[in-house]
């Protein structure tokens, strides 16, 4: 794993952040820029004559505070080492500037920080009322969709993860690159190449404005929230993918090659090392959804940037994509759709509040991108089904509501999605139904002790739907052509109106996706 522009407030994927996993998915503001990693990037591959790149080597990570072993006294670099480390910033940023073609416009501020200062920085951000509320909402929705265990404490997990993973970070508020006083110089140089790329991005394009300007309105404007979620996730992938590319070029330069010149297998080997490192016990124990969401900007972002480098060189891969960024996780996951100018318009958010009335209040709303849907399907049906069905996603959002006065974790959810075909929409509902038994106690009737996913069929005024009685309330699902709608936790008296409204609004006010060759 490697590092990222450290900003615990930023989000990653649609749902993820605020949520939903894209199905919910929340990309959880956590992430994309969390510096995942303290391990050293992969060693440079052998010269071109070698048949294949070596598997990335992971540098020993400082012992996690969660481990049971007695930690050895922590090493701190000497004053001489500290001076050498801080002086090396100028050399490394020059390499980055030459490599990315992003000009260095002013000297980079730098400082050494202790582990205690890093932990305080993290804790201060997580204490922020707005951030804490966002994280709480995202956690509740993810649990409702089964993407997080019910007992999972996201805040506690994030503190432990950051203690394990941070290897240095660039703070775009103070314009300072922060280097660690307990890691030796040789381990921090690759990290520095990564972080100083963020400094160059910031000097040329104002990272806070560019990356985080598409922030949530926290429900004040649901349509804006849905439209900005996927764009935000895609932009984080650009930011981290560029930093990964520059870092790997720095590592490969001594043997006369670069990421663009290497075989795709090299990037895949790097990504495999990030996804499964023995030095990252906290990360390795994370739920699948959080793992995938946290890795997305570094893995898919790296693949996306490599494709840009191969097709258009650094001018396209760095400044060019900042000026014309991808608009969705779909484009990042499938770079050919970015080059073809494919556009997937966001679905129009239905006015559920009008139906729910004063007894309910909006809890959270946001986009659910291809990334979130793919993770959801993978968790409950496996990678093969996810790889077949996920790419057929063509838009979606979630709407979480809560009865006034009810406990914070008792939310009802609507998920509205569009697919490439009516067949794909029905296959998604088939998957959704098959996953219910894993997520809830599902019974055919109250007198049966056996788990069953046999649904009831409902019809009204031309609309038909399926429903299941579960320990989490009644689940409803309906399709209309390429539109699929699911409801969880809403009462049967209002469910048909919610289903019909969602379908009608999607049909009437959401233009179909433009073909890949349309601009």
Q: DSSP for 65-116, please give it.
A: TT-SS-PPPPP---HHHHHHHHHHHHHHHHHHHHHH-----SPPEEEEE-HH
Window from 104-108, 164-168, 189-193, 423-427 with minimum mean pLDDT: 164-168
Question: In terms of DSSP H, where are the helices of 316-369?
Answer: 321-323, 329-333, 335-340, 352-356
Q: For residue 300, what pLDDT is reported?
A: 95
Tell me the pLDDT band of 442, cut-offs 50, 70 and 90: low
Q: Region 102-106: what's the mean pLDDT?
A: 97
Tell me the pLDDT band of 69, cut-offs 50, 70 and 90: very low
Q: For residue 448, what pLDDT is reported?
A: 43
- Kindly state the greatest CA–CA separation across the chain: 79
* Angle between helical axes of 222-252 and 288-315 (0-180°, round to 10): 70
Q: How far is Cα 57 from Cα 5, in angstroms, rounded to an integer?
A: 22
Q: For residue 131, what pLDDT is reported?
A: 62
Q: Strand ranges (DSSP E) for 161-237?
A: 169-171, 176-180
Q: Region 101-127: what's the mean pLDDT?
A: 87
Q: For residue 121, what pLDDT is reported?
A: 78
- Of residues 35 and 127, more confidence is placed in 127
Q: For residue 42, what pLDDT is reported?
A: 35
Its pTM stands at 0.83
By the 8 A CB rule, do 229 and 15 touch? yes
Q: For residue 62, what pLDDT is reported?
A: 32
Q: For residue 417, what pLDDT is reported?
A: 96
> Which residue matches tokens 């663009």?
260
**Mean pLDDT of the chain, nearest integer:** 81
CATH topology of domain 352-509: Protein Transport Mog1p; Chain A (3.40.1000)
Q: Region 500-515: what's the mean pLDDT?
A: 85
- Of residues 409 and 441, more confidence is placed in 409
What 8-state DSSP symbol labels residue 451?
Answer: B
HEC per residue, 286-325: CCHHHHHHHHHHHHHHHHHHHHHHHHHHHHHHHHHHHHCC
Q: For residue 19, what pLDDT is reported?
A: 28
Window from 52-56, 245-249, 391-395 with minimum mean pLDDT: 52-56
Q: Region 427-434: what's the mean pLDDT?
A: 95
Q: For residue 461, what pLDDT is reported?
A: 81
Question: What is the per-residue burial (b if ≥16 Cβ within 10 Å, else e) of 29-51?
Answer: bbbbbbbbbbbbbbebbeeeeee
Q: For residue 39, what pLDDT is reported?
A: 30
Residue 152 has pLDDT above 80, yes or no: yes
Highest mean pLDDT among 23-37, 63-77, 134-148: 134-148
Q: For residue 72, what pLDDT is reported?
A: 52
Q: For residue 276, what pLDDT is reported?
A: 74
Query: Domains of the chain: which residue ranges?
Result: 14-42+77-338, 352-509
CA distances from 87 to 6, 21, 37, 107, 304 (A): 22, 43, 23, 12, 32
């Amino acid at each position: 794993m490697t590092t990222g522009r450290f900003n615990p407030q930023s989000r990653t994927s649609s749902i993820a952040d605020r949520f939903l996993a894209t199905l919910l998915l929340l990309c959880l503001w956590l992430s994309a820029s969390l510096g995942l990693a303290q391990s050293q990037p992969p060693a440079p591959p052998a010269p071109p004559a070698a048949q294949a790149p070596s598997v990335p080597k992971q540098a020993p990570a400082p012992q996690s505070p969660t481990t049971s072993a007695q930690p050895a006294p922590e090493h701190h670099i000497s004053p001489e080492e500290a001076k050498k480390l801080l002086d090396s910033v100028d050399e490394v940023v020059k390499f980055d500037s030459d490599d990315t073609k992003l000009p260095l416009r002013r000297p980079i501020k730098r400082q050494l920080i202790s582990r205690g200062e890093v932990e305080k920085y993290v804790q201060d951000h997580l204490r922020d009322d707005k951030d804490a509320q966002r994280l709480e909402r995202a956690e509740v929705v993810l649990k409702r969709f089964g993407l997080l265990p019910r007992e999972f404490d996201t805040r506690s997990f994030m503190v432990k993860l950051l203690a394990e993973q941070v290897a240095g970070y660039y703070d775009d508020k103070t314009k300072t690159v922060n280097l660690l006083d307990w890691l030796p110089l040789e381990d921090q140089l690759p990290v520095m190449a990564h972080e100083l790329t963020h400094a160059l991005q910031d000097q040329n394009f104002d990272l806070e404005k560019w990356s985080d300007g598409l922030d949530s309105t926290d429900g004040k404007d649901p349509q804006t929230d849905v439209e900005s979620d996927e764009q935000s996730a895609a932009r984080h992938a650009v930011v981290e993918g560029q930093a990964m590319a520059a870092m790997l070029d720095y590592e490969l330069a001594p043997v006369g090659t670069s990421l663009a010149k290497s075989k795709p297998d090299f990037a895949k080997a790097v990504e495999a090392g990030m996804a499964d490192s023995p030095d990252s016990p906290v990360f390795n124990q994370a739920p699948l959804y959080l793992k995938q969401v946290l890795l997305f900007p570094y893995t898919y972002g790296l693949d996306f940037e490599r494709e840009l480098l191969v097709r258009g060189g650094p001018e396209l891969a760095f400044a060019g994509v900042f000026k014309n960024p991808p608009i969705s996780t779909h484009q990042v996951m499938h770079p050919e759709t970015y080059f073809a100018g494919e556009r997937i318009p966001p679905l129009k958010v239905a006015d559920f509040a009008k139906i729910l009335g004063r007894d309910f209040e909006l809890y959270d709303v946001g986009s659910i991108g291809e990334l979130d849907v793919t993770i959801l399907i993978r968790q409950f049906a496996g990678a093969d089904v996810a790889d077949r069905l996920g790419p057929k996603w063509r838009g979606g959002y979630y709407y979480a509501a809560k009865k006034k006065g009810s406990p914070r974790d008792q939310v009802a959810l609507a998920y509205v999605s569009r697919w490439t075909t009516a067949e794909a929409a029905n296959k998604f509902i088939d998957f959704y139904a098959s996953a219910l038994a894993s997520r809830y106690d599902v019974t055919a009737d109250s007198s049966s002790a056996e788990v069953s996913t046999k649904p009831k069929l409902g019809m009204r005024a031309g609309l038909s739907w399926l429903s299941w009685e579960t320990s989490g309330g009644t689940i409803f699902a309906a399709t209309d052509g390429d539109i699929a709608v699911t409801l969880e936790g809403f009462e049967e008296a209002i469910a048909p109106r919610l289903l019909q409204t969602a379908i009608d609004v999607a049909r009437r006010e959401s233009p179909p996706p433009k073909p890949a060759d349309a601009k």
